[in-house]
Amino acid sequence: MTSPKVLVTGGAGYVGSHTCKALAAAGFLPISLDNLTRGHRHAVRWGPLEQGDVRDGDFLKAVLAAHRPAAVLHFAALAYPAESVTRPDLYFDNNVVGTLTLLQALHAAGISRMIASSSCAVYGAAPTLPVSEDTPCLPITAYGASKLMMEQMQAEFSRAFGLRRFALRYFNAAGADPSGELGEDHDPELHLIPNALRVACGLRPHLDVHGEDYPTPDGTCIRDYLHVSDLADAHVAAMKALLDGSPGGVLNLGTGTGHSVRQVAAIVSTITGRPVPLRVGPRRPGDPPALVADATRAARIGIAYPRSDMPTMIATAWAWMTRRQD
């Protein structure tokens, strides 16, 4: 029996590639669609790669006709909040136009199941913690605004055309595939944990801390982190729910536990046995003081995070990084 096909836009990226591995383990054949501007061909290992842009409607039409996927997982997006402050044009073009083009292609092809990668950035500087799905969405960056627009388009296609969809608002992906096949590989790398690990292994002299005057216990930003493999499994669980008839909805993905920048740096030092010197600078545009999830709704469809304690996330990322160094 042939495996059911699932189209994964952005399948050569960090979260997309880990999700392709999880899909294959669950008995699906992932079809990666990626333009490879920020993804990596070597990360596409569990199914074919269709190289092209999600904004190209004719390309999407051909891919959907060739593979007839049972569902689509949509990761293709630019995802640097600070960059989006200075280049909102890029983010609205790639993230908003790309999603609309995909939705139009799915409707034309009669494909009615879609999971979209959204973000806690839709909430902006949330007034209370933890953040539930009912918290008002007031994004403070073009990135967050683009993700909220994506959700709104999904919702309208659901009302008008019967699209069954999930929008998964996840907080901060971290860690690496525990078997060492995949990891985080961005250029530039702006995420906290890989940059702290680069300091630990001598590739950087210090870890830049963007502000220490936030209203948090140690003055640095607090975030909710979850292991990228747990995040991948969450996408598979949401897709299975759609295939079983769920109408979908909006879900937060997070652990409900926050860590500050200083706390993460200290745990990196403990795990690696090496110092992580800090260099404090000004705040970075688009950084809210704290974001921690209320993920109660996601737990109702069986989503859990067994690898998402901070030492495990750091240890798997460290193992992957040092293996690459070797």
Q: CA-to-CA distance for 30 and 298, rounded, in angstroms?
A: 23
Amino acid found at 304: A
Range of the domain at 236: 5-173+228-253
Asked if residue 46 and residue 14 are part of one domain, the reply reads yes
Quick one: pLDDT at residue 188?
85
What's the mean per-residue pLDDT of the chain? 96
Asked if residue 274 and residue 242 are part of one domain, the reply reads no
Active site residue 143: yes
Residue 211 lies in a domain: yes
User: Span 152-175, mean pLDDT?
Assistant: 97
Last residue of a domain, one of 253, 270, 300: 253
Q: CA-to-CA distance for 41 and 148, rounded, in angstroms?
A: 29
Residue 247 lies in a domain: yes
Asked if residue 261 and residue 246 are part of one domain, the reply reads no
Please report, for the domain that includes residue 156, its CATH number.
Answer: 3.40.50.720
User: Span 21-34, mean pLDDT?
Assistant: 98
Catalytic entry in 80, 123, 143, 305: 143
Quick one: pLDDT at residue 1?
67
Which has more pLDDT, 173 or 190? Answer: 173
Share of the chain above pLDDT 70, in %: 99
Contact 317, 194 (CB under 8 A): yes
Note the pLDDT tens digit of each residue in 50-91: 999 999 999 999 999 999 999 999 999 999 999 999 999 999
3-state secondary structure at position 182: coil
Asked if residue 315 and residue 302 are part of one domain, the reply reads yes
User: Span 191-214, mean pLDDT?
Assistant: 96
Asked if residue 169 and residue 290 are part of one domain, the reply reads no
Asked if residue 282 and residue 162 are part of one domain, the reply reads no
Residue 185 lies in a domain: no
User: Span 265-271, mean pLDDT?
Assistant: 98
pLDDT band at 286 (very low <50, low <70, confident <90, very high): confident
Give this prediction's pTM: 0.96
* Count of C-beta atoms within a 10 Å radius of residue 277: 11
Residue 232 lies in a domain: yes
Quick one: pLDDT at residue 69?
98
